[in-house]
Copies of this chain bind each other. A is one copy, B any other.
């Protein structure tokens, strides 16, 4: 036991939490792990953790959380998603990509995506993310002000961006309008402790080169991430070669927009040269294995990316194509698909996968100094999982257990920015009552309209 000395004089406005008797997985650079330890949280940050003795007398007003039978670890980081799309969960599955997108998703998006449905879909997404242990997510969609309001109220941490696209978006008639909107959002949300407003261009095939450059220049101006879908499908890759003479990555490189604030979503179809470019430019990749499999897009060369030193995190993509926001599923799927795809059961070992979902995801978002691991001085973004369950035993290897056996549903308590936002599966701020009924109402309207459209066709 190491005694820690902490200033006994608590300032009146400081709030303390102490987690005791917990199994603690830190994901720090030493992979520190305690079978039974404590964590001291002051306001939004971790003060101390591990095999420490914390005198409760020193913190008489601290909230004490019993960690007996629980695993505490960093909250998971979702590096690519479109949260309002939860309202389309299961609307159109088992379809060819083009039919899915052009005959199902785009028509309902243009008709049903508005401030109200975005608020509702985002609320549903926040509920699902908290339940499955995600504490930070990186989103590109529309009506970001509405998304930000829900994030503010429900307690998650998010990097949010309006998706700039080369045709009228649901909330922006022109790309310039979208960019102006984003600047307004930066003014409004810029000082929020949990919200970062960033910039996104939809994809190389849906935005002109100059629009991509312009959007990127805004990201640089404000020193925030820049998101873009890149090389998701073979079709995109092949068409890029024909249209631009470059691979999608090569094309973006030729535009001069690739550097260390760029998050390339998907990166499925990459040449060795593309991987070198990504490494040289410091570009990060958001890997979405389940979505890529479900739409038969392919398998991103993640083992090669990691070997080259490219930063890779996990994304779920939107629920319309996944169909969930559960990063535990992505971890499991990634671990096994890359073994199969490489014909090598040693690639993407469990620890590497847990790293990608935590500190690796934080690196992708440029937030590795604040989140992604449990360390003194870092933000207190953590999850507590119930280990008193059949699939959680025995524990030979904690990483293996996390990747191959534990599930999002094992998460019971979530603390973000030092605040408990879910306690024993009960949401602290989010109102579950009536939520599902509201979601079903909008789904019914979409179904009715869909039937109408198919009658017209």
Contact = CB atoms under 8 A, between A and B. Distances in A.
B443 A294 contact: no
A405 B292 CA distance: 16
A346 B96 contact: yes
Contacts of A394: 87, 89-91, 439-440, 442-443
A132 B391 CA distance: 10
A390 B346 contact: no
A343 B296 contact: yes
A236 to B, nearest CB: 15
A90 to B, nearest CB: 4
Classify chain A's interface size: 35 or more
B94 A350 contact: yes
A87 to B, nearest CB: 6
Contacts of A96: 344-346
A101 to B, nearest CB: 11
Contact of A346 (B95, B132, B348): B95
Contacts of A440: 393-395
A349 interface: yes
A428 interface: no
Interface string A390-404: 111111110011001
Contact of A407 (B93, B337, B407): B407
A358 interface: no
Contacts of A339: 94, 293-296
A333 interface: yes
A388 interface: yes
A405 B323 contact: yes
A393 B296 contact: no
**This chain's copy number in the assembly:** 2
Given A337-B337, A400-B323, A94 B345 contact: yes
Contacts of A392: 436
A223 interface: no
A22 interface: no
Contacts of A95: 345-346
A342 interface: yes
A443 B298 contact: no
A322 interface: yes
A302 to B, nearest CB: 14
B94 A293 contact: no
A446 B124 CA distance: 44
A100 interface: yes
Interface stretch (A38-46, A244-252, A324-332, A371-379): A324-332
A299 interface: yes
The 3 closest A-B pairs by CB, nearest first: A394-B443, A409-B409, A127-B390
27 contacts: A89-B391, A89-B393, A90-B395, A93-B404, A95-B346, A96-B344, A96-B345, A97-B345, A128-B391, A290-B332, A290-B336, A293-B337, A294-B339, A296-B345, A323-B400, A324-B405, A326-B407, A388-B436, A390-B432, A392-B436, A393-B436, A394-B439, A394-B440, A394-B443, A395-B440, A395-B443, A409-B410
